[in-house]
Every structure is written in structure tokens, then in C-alpha cells.
Amino acid sequence: MKRKHFKAEQIVVMLREAEIQLAKGLDIVDVCRTLGFSEQSYYRWRKEYGGLKLDQAKRMKGLEKENTRLKKIVADLTLDNSILKEAAEGNF
């Protein structure tokens, strides 16, 4: 079965819709089935995106991407630094 990848904005909208339907008294399984995602996804998304607005979700995803990029840069620079230290000491 093919996995669906939802954007942060779509997830926030679906969570709001789910909360509305749950407030009407529907069961969580039925709500998830109607909206097209699993119950496990609902709980995971609610933990990550619960209470966020659309612009906040977009900003959070952008910051996560930037954080990943910066971590890679730090790892590369740390490796370069250790190689230069070894070369300066003469231990090849």
C-alpha cells in the first residue's frame, strides 16, 4: 500500500476537522477513516502539531529543515578540524 505524505498545513487542517467531529460525538476510528488516515497517525500528529496554527506549522517545518542542514555542516567542519589536527601533529 502506498504511503501518503501530507504537508504540515494539511495535517493541521485535518486535526482541526477531526477535533470538530470528535466534539460532535463520533468515534476516533470513524473520524480517522473518514478523513483518510490511521488512528496511529492521528495521535502522532496531535502530539507534534496539536494546538498549532497553519503559519506556525510552516515555520516549524522550515526550522527543522534548517536545523538538519546546520547539523550536517557542523559534522563536516568537525571532521575537517580533526583531520587538520592529526596532520599538524604528524600522525598520518
The per-residue pLDDT for range 33-79, each reduced to its tens digit, is 999 999 999 999 999 888 888 888 888 889 999 999 999 999 999 99
The answer to whether residues 39 and 32 touch, using CB atoms and an 8 Å cutoff, is: yes
Q: Has residue 1 been placed in a domain?
A: no
Gyration radius (Cα) of the chain, Å: 22
* Number of domains the chain contains: 1
Best CA proximity match to 42, nearest among 69, 21, 65: 21
Best CA proximity match to 51, nearest among 15, 6, 5: 15
Domain range for 25: 8-89
Cell numbers placing 69: 542542514
Q: Has residue 2 been placed in a domain?
A: no
Provide the pLDDT confidence category of residue 1 given band limits of 50, 70 and 90: low
Q: pTM here? A: 0.64
Residue 13's SS3 state is: helix
Q: Has residue 63 been placed in a domain?
A: yes
Mean pLDDT of 18-29: 93
Q: Has residue 3 been placed in a domain?
A: no
